[in-house]
Amino acid sequence: MIVPKGLLDGHVAVITGGGSGIGRGTAHVLAEAGARVAVVDMDGAKAEAVAGEIGPAARAYPVDVTDADACQALAGRVHIEIGPASILFNNAGIVRRAGLSSNTARQDWEDTIAVNVNALFYMTHAFLEQLKATKGRIVNTGSIQSHVHTPNSVVYTTSKGAVKNFTVGLAAELGPFGVRVNAVAPGLIFTPINEEGIQKKPEALERMMRHIPMGRHGTPEDIAGPVLFLVSDLARYVTGVTIAADGGYLTV
Ligand SMILES: NC(=O)c1ccc[n+]([C@@H]2O[C@H](COP(=O)([O-])OP(=O)(O)OC[C@H]3O[C@@H](n4cnc5c(N)ncnc54)[C@H](O)[C@@H]3O)[C@@H](O)[C@H]2O)c1
């Protein structure tokens, strides 16, 4: 992918889940476009590794985004150490596919809502004043499951549906401040989040693949491109939308 140099010059991007998969790929692309990047991940070693790959334009922040106070502290540190955030990519997420009859169902529900939903609020709230001051841009990571269901994933479907509606509500509320809010809805992207599931249930992978008109799974760069568009001035009149990047999964 050819990244337009200078598209994000002067921007400070905060990326949650930046230590792996889609967050890692997007951190690289936004930095290549000129942004300084805060790589936020509860796995501090992974965050450090990604910041190290990018170089001086990046800094690692080991933070659990389900901790509201830690998000507030992070916002203060980013402001002082990098500058006021103008881009927030709320991307950290988890998936549990045990099904509602499983004896882990209640814990799965609470853990999933904590990361995939509550943390979006904590991070957005913590960075709100910086984003208003910079007329910033927020992108949330939804999923094809913001729109449809896949087996044994009621809580994940619920959480990603909430991401879509959070995006709509927030876009309306922050529009008057010049802050744009959008979401990206990835299809099947090969990252560590689904490695175990794919190994355990190869038939689920085959079913997904048959459902993708473009005939291939996605890569983190396939998501980083739409995110780059949404946070850049190319999308300056785009707000409140969820853009699918799924090889056509939602068309059939
Ligand atoms: N990979 C896919 O097929 C796919 C499809 C649709 C949506 N998504 C979404 O994309 C996002 C990124 O997923 P990915 O595929 O890159 O997965 P990944 O597992 O590779 O990366 C997720 C990162 O989030 C971090 N994280 C998890 N909980 C956290 C917390 N409480 N605080 C801070 N960091 C935390 C993890 O440490 C990890 O580094 C998620 O929201 C996921 O739901 C992924």
Ligand 1 mean position, distance from CA 115 (Å): 9
Residue 145: the pLDDT is 98
DSSP per-residue letters across 79-91:
HHHT-S-SEEEE-
**8 has pLDDT over 90:** yes
Contact 170, 88 (CB under 8 A): no
CA angle 15, 250, 186 (to 5 degrees): 15
In a domain, residue 25? The reply is: yes
Residue 229 pLDDT exceeds 90: yes
The CA distance from 145 to 47, in Å, is 27
pLDDT for res 125: 98
| Pocket around ligand 1 at a 6 A CB cut-off | 16-17, 19-23, 41-43, 46, 64-66, 91-95, 115, 141, 143, 186, 188-189, 191-194
* 3-class secondary-structure state, position 138: strand
Cα–Cα distance, 220 to 15 (Å, whole number): 14
What residue has token string 């094809």?
Answer: 144
Q: Which of 164, 161, 162 is nearest to 150 (CA)?
A: 161
Is 199 among the domain residues?
Answer: no
For residue 196, is pLDDT > 90? no
Q: Domain limits at 126?
A: 12-193+220-244
| 210 within a domain of the structure (yes/no) | no
Give me the percent of the chain exceeding a pLDDT of 90.
94
**What are the pLDDT digits (tens) for 68-120?**
999 999 999 999 999 999 999 999 999 999 999 999 999 999 999 999 999 99
Q: What is the mean pLDDT of the chain?
A: 97
Q: Which ligand 1 atom is nearest residue 115's CA?
A: 31
With respect to residue 23, please indicate whether it lies within any of the assigned structural domains. Answer: yes
The number of folded domains in the chain is 1
Q: What pLDDT score was predicted for residue 48?
A: 98
Q: What confidence score (pLDDT) does residue 152 get?
A: 86
Kindly list the catalytic residues.
156
Residue 213 contacts residue 244 (beta carbons within 8 Å): no
Residue 198 located in a structural domain: no
| Residue 58's CATH number | 3.40.50.720
137 is a domain residue: yes
Closest CA to 127 of 88, 172, 91: 88
Q: How confident is the model at residue 151 (pLDDT cuts 50, 70, 90)?
A: confident
- Residue 135 in this model has a pLDDT that exceeds 90: yes
> Measured from the CA of 119, which atom of ligand 1 is nearest?
31
| CA 132 / ligand 1 centre spacing (Å) | 26
Q: Can you tell me which atom of ligand 1 is nearest the CA of 223?
A: 10
- Residue 198 to residue 31: CA distance in whole angstroms: 31
Instruction: Compute, in angstroms, the gap from residue 53 CA to the centroid of ligand 1.
Output: 19
> For residue 141, what pLDDT is reported?
99
Strand stretches in the chain, DSSP E: 12-16, 36-41, 58-62, 87-90, 137-141, 180-186, 242-245
Q: Find the mean pLDDT for residues 115-139.
A: 98
Determine which residue's CA is closest to atom 21 belonging to ligand 1: 20
Q: Evaluate whether residue 209 is within a structural domain.
A: no
Task: Compute, in angstroms, the gap from residue 157 CA to the centroid of ligand 1.
Answer: 15
